[in-house]
Structure 1
Amino acid sequence: MLLRVPGVYRPQSDTHLLSDAISDHAMRLGTRAIDLCTGTGAVAIHAARCGAARVTAVDVSRRAAATALVNARLARADVEVRRGDLAAPVAGREFDLVLSNPPYVPTDPAAPPPHGAARAWDAGGDGRSVLDRICRAAPQLLAPGGTLLLVQSALSGVEKTLAMLAESGVPSDVHARRSIPLGPVLRSRQRMLVGRGLLDAAQRTEDIVVIRGVKPS
Structure 2
Amino acid sequence: MLWRYWWGVWLLRPPGVYRPQGDTFLLAAAFRDAAPPAGARVLDVCTGTGALALAAARHTGARVTAIDVSARAVYTARLNARLRGLRVRALRGDLLAPVADESFDVILANPPYVPGPDVSPPRHGRSRAWEAGPHGRLLLDRICAGAPPLLARGGTLLLVHSALCGIRTTLASLRAAGLKAAVIARRPEPFGPVMRTRAARLEAHGLIAPGQRHEELVVIRADRPQA
Q: The TM-score by the shorter chain falls in which range?
A: over 0.9
CA gap 1:109/1:133 in 2 versus in 1, 3 angstroms: same
Report how many aligned residue pairs link the two structures. Answer: 217
Please give the alpha-carbon distance, in whole angstroms, between the structure 2 residues aligned to 1:112 and 1:32: 29
- The Cα offsets for residues 58-109 of structure 1, whole Å up to 9 and x where unpaired, read as 0010010001100111111111101101111112100000001100010024
2:113 maps to: 104
Displacement after TM superposition at 1:170 (Å): 1.2
SS of the residue corresponding to residue 74 of structure 2 reads helix
Is the contact between residue 57 and residue 80 of structure 1 (CA under 8 Å) also seen in structure 2?
A: yes
- The Cα offsets for residues 112-140 of structure 1, whole Å up to 9 and x where unpaired, read as 84631110111011100000000001221
- The Cα offsets for residues 130-178 of structure 1, whole Å up to 9 and x where unpaired, read as 0000000122110010000000001111110000000011121001000
Counterpart among 22, 32, 37 of residue 23 in structure 1: 32
1:208 maps to: 217
Is the contact between residue 39 and residue 68 of structure 1 (CA under 8 Å) also seen in structure 2?
A: yes
Counterpart among 186, 190, 210 of residue 199 in structure 2: 190
CA gap 1:99/1:110 in 2 versus in 1, 3 angstroms: closer
1:60 maps to: 69
Q: Which moved more, 1:44-53 or 1:110-119?
A: 110-119
Q: Does 1:143 align with 2:177?
A: no
The residue type equivalent to 2:11 in the other structure is L
Which structure 2 segments of 5+ residues have no match? 1-9
CA gap 1:93/1:110 in 2 versus in 1, 3 angstroms: closer
Please give the alpha-carbon distance, in whole angstroms, between the structure 2 residues aligned to 1:30 and 1:188: 43
Is the contact between residue 32 and residue 52 of structure 1 (CA under 8 Å) also seen in structure 2?
A: no
Paired-residue identity, %: 56
The residue type equivalent to 2:64 in the other structure is V
Q: How does 1:49-198 map to 2 (within 5 A)?
A: 49-109=58-118, 113=122, 115-198=124-207
CA gap 1:52/1:143 in 2 versus in 1, 3 angstroms: farther
TM-score, length-normalised on structure 2?
0.92
Task: Write out the 4+ residue segments of structure 1 that deviate beyond 6 Å after TM superposition.
Answer: none
Please give the alpha-carbon distance, in whole angstroms, between the structure 1 residues aligned to 2:28 and 2:120: 32
Please give the alpha-carbon distance, in whole angstroms, between the structure 1 residues aligned to 2:91 and 2:148: 21
Please give the alpha-carbon distance, in whole angstroms, between the structure 1 residues aligned to 2:89 and 2:120: 35
